[in-house]
Amino acid sequence: MKCKLIILVLIFGCSAQITSAQIEARYLLGQKSEASKQAPRAYGSYAKGCLAGGEELEINGPTWQVMRLSRGRNWGHPNMIAYLKRISEKVAKETSWNGLYIGDISQPRGGPMISGHASHQLGLDADIWMLPAKKLNLSRLKREKLSSISIRSNDKKLINSNWTNDHMKVIKIAASDQNVDRIFVTAPAKIYMCENASGDKKWLQKIRPFWGHNFHFHVRLKCPIGSKVCKIQKPTVNSLSKGGNGCDKTLIWWITDALKPAKVNPDTAKKKARKHPRHFTMAELPQQCTDVLNSK
């Protein structure tokens, strides 16, 4: 990251023509190894913002382990950290899993990441592996090399033999928490849960089918109380499901028409590609993010 900053200086010179506001935020926020010494706040949107007063999730816990430690993405809003601890304990009590393997949450100060995600910028997103957490004494090296498992068939239409009833129990536990806004998961898993869940199915409204998400499911929490600059995601899950649980015929689109080769419209193809959130500059993020960056 420091090399990137040096290159930028060489390109623009040392005449102060380039400012931190013009540099991609990922190279500035991404080099911070500690949270800002501020009150916890989420500024902006899930894919265009930052995190003040973040909290680090301990890499080892009684019912969880953080994976891919080299990424340094085990920071989040205190609401997220408390949530992960809370549901991992419940998972350990109510399923055959001993807890959860936690993937990326956020950087210490949130914001765009050097690589990967468009979201995960507010400390309110977390990836939870589909691999059942049986061993909670994995070494750092093992956590770098171990991979999760896919619960989706190769043709992207069905769940595969890796899927178990406990996967549904884990996702139900995760979705039933009142702090959750929505959970992204591969469409075949949503379809299976709609067809096989029993009892009250209201929790299924929060389960949203989305591309990928077959090696992990992605939890997104609601904007915290007090974070007035945090932008609520719209449309809401209630709107998307028209007040229901989302278990309707629209789900079939994901395993039929959505999988067909896309037809390219030459008129729209010429339009400028949308800027990936990884490339936002500090000037494009909420103004509070500059204070987060400069905070000790």
Tens of pLDDT, residue by residue over 68-93, are 999 999 999 999 999 999 999 999 99
Mean pLDDT of 256-270: 78
Tell me how crowded residue 158 is: count the other CB atoms within 10 A of its CB: 16
Split at pLDDT 50, 70, 90, the class of 269 is low
Q: How large a percentage of the chain has pLDDT more than 90?
A: 82
Per domain, the residue ranges of the chain are 1-31, 36-256
**Predicted structure pTM score:** 0.90
Q: What is the pLDDT of residue 271?
A: 62
Q: What is the pLDDT of residue 292?
A: 97
pLDDT averaged over the chain? 91
* Radius of gyration of the chain measured on its C-alpha atoms: 20
Q: Say whether 56 sits in a helix, a strand or coil.
A: strand
Contact partners, residue 118, CB within 8 Å, separation at least 6: 47, 276, 277, 278
Residue 226 is classified by DSSP as T
Q: What is the pLDDT of residue 268?
A: 64
Cis (ω within 30 of 0) for the bond into 235?
Answer: yes
Q: Give pLDDT tens digits for 31-41.
A: 999 999 999 99
| pLDDT greater at residue 262 or residue 137 | 137
Class (C level, CATH) for 36-256? alpha beta
Q: Residue 6 pLDDT more than 60?
A: no
Split at pLDDT 50, 70, 90, the class of 270 is low
Q: Give pLDDT tens digits for 136-172.
A: 999 999 999 999 999 999 999 999 999 999 999 999 9
The helix-helix angle for 165-176 and 187-196 (nearest 10°) equals: 90
Nearest to 216 by CA among 50, 48, 73, 55: 73
Mean pLDDT of 54-65: 98
